[in-house]
Structure 1
Amino acid sequence: MRRIVSSPQLPLSVRLDRFQRRFAPYLFVSPFFILFAIFGLFPTLFSIYLSFQAWNPVQGLGTMRYVGVENFVFLLEDPWFWQALGNTFWIAVASGLPQHLVAIPLAFALVMGVRSLRHPLTAGYFLPYITSAVAVSIVFITIFGTQFGALNQLIGVLATWAPTAWLFEGIRDQLPINWLGRAPYIKPAISILVFWQFFGFNVVLYSAALMTIPREYYEAAAVDGANLPQRFFHITLPLLRPMIFFAVTLTIIGNLQLFDQPFMLTGGTGGSGQAGLTVAMYLYRTGFEWLDMGTAAAMSWLLFLVIGTATFIHFKFFGRGGLETRE
C-alpha cells in the first residue's frame, strides 16, 4: 500500500514573497486603470447610452426615456447645428492655416539665423499657449472694444493721418467699429485670437524638427550654390513633412473643439446672428442651459465623427507621403 506524503507547507514569509512577486505589479498599475474606468471609460459609454435617451438631469435618473435616433435626426434637421458647424469650420481654417504659414518660416529663421536669441524668442512665442484662455480673451476683449479698444484707436489715428487716410475711406463713416457686436467681424476677431494663442506652439514643434535635420545637407547645398530660399524649399520643407502632418493634425482636432475663446469674446451668446457660435458652445448651451442632455450627448458624437472624418481625410491625402518622407 502506497503512502501519500503531503508536501510541507511553505513558511508565511515565502508565501508573502511569492504573492508580492506575482501580484504587486498589477497593484501598482491598478490606480491608472481604476481612474480611467471611472473618469474615462464610464463617461464615454454613458454618453453613448445617453445619446439615445431624452433626459433632464434636474428630474433625476429615473426620468430617462428611450427615443432611439430621434436626437440625431433632430440635430441633422436643426439649422442652428449646421450654422454652428459652419462657423466652427470657418474659424478652424481662418485661424489654423495662418498658424503654420507663419510658424514654419519663423522657426526656420530662429534655427538658421538668430541662434543667440533662439531660446528667448522661442519661449516668448510659446508664452501665449500656456497662458489661460480666459485671461487671453479678456485682453482681446479690451483690444476689440468699441469705444476705447486699442484696435479702433489705432484705426482712428491712421484714418486721420494723411499718408494712410486713403486706406480707410470706405470705413471712415463706420468708426468706431463694433468688432464683437457685428456679425461680419465676429469670426475674424475669434480667428485672430486663436491664431495668436496657438501659433507659438507650432513654432516650438517646427523648431524641434528643424534641429534634427543634419547641417551637412545645408552645407552641401551652399557649396553647390543654393541660396537660402532654395535651401528652404528643397531641403527644409520636404524633411519637415512628418512634423507638418503631425502639427496640422493637432490643429484640426483642437480647432474643431473651440469653446473658451468664442465663449469669452461673445459673452456666451454666440454674438450677433450667432456668428460666433461653435459646435462646442452649442453643445454646452443644449446640455447645461437647456438641460437637454440626450441631444447634447448626440451632438458630442456627431462632433466626434466630424473630427474623425476630417482627420482621416487629412491622413488619406497628406499623411502617407509625410510619414514616408524619411523611410
Structure 2
Amino acid sequence: MATTTSSRTAGSTPTPAKPRTPRRAGFSQRLGRWDLKLSPYLYISPFFILFLVTGLFPLFYTAWVSFHDWDTVMGQGEFVGLENFQYVLTSADFWKAVRNTFSIFLLSSIPQVIIALVIAAMLDQNIRAKTFWRMGVLLPYIVTPVAVALIFSNLFADQSGIINQWLGALGFDPVRWHAEVIPSHLAIATMVNFRWTGYTTLILLAAMQAVSRELYEAAVIDGAGRARQFFSITVPQIRPTMIFVVITSTIGGLQIFDEPRLFDQAGNGGSDGQWQTLTMYLYRLGWSQSDFGRASAVAWLLFVIIVIIGLINLAVTRRIATSGGKR
C-alpha cells in the first residue's frame, strides 16, 4: 500500500502555480517617486523664476521698447524700427560715453585684480590675527557709495583737495580732477578700487586656501622661494577663480554708474561729459529727456558690448589656462 501511494505521488504532475497579480502602487508610493524626480527641479526653480521675472522679461521688453517712439507720459508710440539705434550710433555723446566707460574700466579693473591677488597672497600666509585682517579688507565694500563719494570728493577737489595740497607741498602744480579727462577717470577708478578690491581679495583668498599644502611643502623641499611658489603653484591652481573674477569685474566695470554719478554735485558726468559713462548716458536719455526708446537702444548696445568683451575675456583666459596646463 505504501508502495502504491509513493508511486502515485511520484507519477503525478505538479499543479502549476497561479500567476501573482501585481500590486497596485499606492498613492504614497507614487508621491514618493514624484518627490524623488521633481524635488531637485523644485529646489532650483526659485532662481529661474526670479531670473525670468527680473532678467529675461525686462531684457526682451527693453528690446520691444527700443523699436518704438516711447515716452514716459504717453507710453508706446509708433513703430520706428532701427531709428533709435541710428540716432544713438551717430551721436557724439554716445561714443564719448563709450570712451569714458572703457577708460575707467581699464584703470579700475586691471589694478584691482592685481592688487587683490597680492593682498590675498599675503593674507594666505601664517600671520597673526588672520581673521581680523581678512575681515578688515571687506570694510570698504560695506561703506555706501554716497559716503565714499563724500570722502573722495574732499580728496580730489580741484582747489582745496587733500591730494592737491600734498602735490603743492612737493612743488607740483594742482591737478584739475573735475575738468580734465584722464585725471577724472583716475579719481573715479580710485573710488571703484577702494570699494571692490577687498571683495575680490576674499574670493581669491578662498581659492588659495583650497590649494593643497602638500604642493607648497614639496616646493620648499625642492628649494623654491616664495615668489616661485606663488607663480608656479598658487596662480596655476586658482586660474579658474581668476577667470571668474576677470569676467565679473568686466561686467561690473562696464556697468559702472554710482561712482561717476556721485563724483560731483551735478551728477551729469562733467561740464563736457568728461566722465559720463554709458549707464549715465542711458539714464540721461531715459529720465532727463524722457525718451525711453533711445535709452532702451543704448541699453541693448551696452548688453551687446558686455557680451562681446565677456566672450573675448573667456577665450583669452581659457587660452592662457590651456597653454599653462600644456607647459
Which interval holds the TM-score relative to the shorter structure?
0.7 to 0.9
* Aligned ranges 1:83-98 → 2 under 5 Å: 83-98=96-111
Q: Which amino acid aligns with 1:49?
A: W
Identity of aligned residues (%): 37
Q: Distance in 2 between matches of 1:195 and 1:248?
A: 14
Structure 2 residue 177 is the aligned partner of structure 1 residue 179: yes
Question: Letter of the aligned partner of 2:283 in structure 1?
Answer: Y
Structure 1 stretches (4+) deviating beyond 4 angstroms? 18-38, 323-327
C-alpha deviation, 1:60, in angstroms = 3.3
Q: Does 1:122 align with 2:134?
A: yes
**Cα offset for 1:325?**
7.1
Residue 59 in structure 1 maps to residue 57 in structure 2? no
Structure with higher Rg: it is 2
Which residue of 250, 253, 276 corresponds with 1:252?
250
Task: Please tell me the residue identity of whatever aligns with 2:317.
Answer: F
Equivalent of 1:134 in 139, 143, 146: 146
Counterpart position of 1:319: 318
Deviation string, structure 1 residues 210-240 (Cα, Å, up to 9, x no partner): 1011111111111111111111111111112
**The residue matched to 2:98 in structure 1 has which SS?**
helix
Could you tell which deviates more after superposition, 144-153 or 71-80?
144-153
Match of 1:295 in 2: 294
Match of 1:196 among 194, 197, 202: 194
Which ranges of structure 1 fall in alignment gaps of 5 or more residues?
Answer: 1-13, 160-167
Paired residue for 2:65? 50
* Structure 2 stretches lacking a partner, 5+ long: 1-25
Alignment of 1:234-245 (within 5 A): 234-245=232-243
Q: CA deviation at 1:41?
A: 3.8
Offset, 1:318: 1.2
SS of the counterpart of 1:81?
helix
Change (3 A) 1:297 1:117: same
User: What's the TM-score, normalizing by structure 1?
Assistant: 0.81
1:156-185, Cα deviation, whole Å (9 max, x unpaired): 3333xxxxxxxx3xx2xxx3x332233342
Kindly indicate whether residue 79 of structure 2 is the aligned counterpart of residue 81 of structure 1: no
Number of residue pairs matched by the alignment: 297
- Indicate how the Cα distance of structure 1 residues 79 and 192 shifts in structure 2: closer, same or farther if over 3 A, else same: same
SS in 1 for 2:141: helix
Partner Cα distance (2:202, 2:43) in 1 = 35
Aligned residue number for residue 156 of structure 1:
168
Match of 1:228 in 2: 226
Contact 2:243/2:317, CA 8 A, preserved across alignment: yes
Q: Which residue identity lines up with residue 111 of structure 1 in the other structure?
A: D
Cα deviation for residue 99 of structure 1 reads 0.7
Distance (Å, rounded) in 1 between the aligned partners of 2:154 and 2:32: 60
SS in 2 for 1:275: coil
Q: Residue deviations 1:228-287, cap 9 Å, x none?
A: 111111111111211111101111000000000001004311114211010000000001
Q: TM-score, normalised by structure 2?
A: 0.81
- Measured in 1, the distance between the counterparts of 2:120 and 2:44 equals 40
